[in-house]
Amino acid sequence: MSRTILGDACAFIPGKNGEKNRYLKLGLAMKDDSGRLSLKLDTLPLPGSDWEGWINVFEREPAAIPVRTAPPRYAPDDLDDDIPF
């Protein structure tokens, strides 16, 4: 059975004492071939973090890092230079 990653599962954590609100990544949301949704949780917020129990799923952003390709391979016949080694 294969699964498709839908996005990151995150918890909204409200800021305390002037801190910023934030989203804590908890794990992944996935969908299998039959359409069932699954959550793979890696962590949960600590008690006292004011987390209300809701988990939000956000689509993953496309990778901003360009994909590297392997350098071209050369056959021994392609190296026609005069270097004596």
Are the beta carbons of 9 and 1 closer than 8 angstroms?
A: no
What is the C-alpha separation between 30 and 40, in angstroms, rounded? 8
What is the C-alpha separation between 10 and 83, in angstroms, rounded? 59
* Segments making up each domain of the chain, as ranges: 3-60
Are the beta carbons of 1 and 33 closer than 8 angstroms?
A: yes
pTM: 0.61
Question: Hey, which residues does 4 pair with through a beta bridge?
Answer: 31
pLDDT tens-digit profile of 16-42? 888 898 899 999 999 999 989 999 999
What local confidence, expressed as pLDDT, does residue 66 receive? 67
Are the beta carbons of 8 and 57 closer than 8 angstroms?
A: yes
What local confidence, expressed as pLDDT, does residue 52 receive? 85
Is the pLDDT higher at 78 or at 3? 3
- pLDDT category, 47, cuts 50, 70, 90? confident
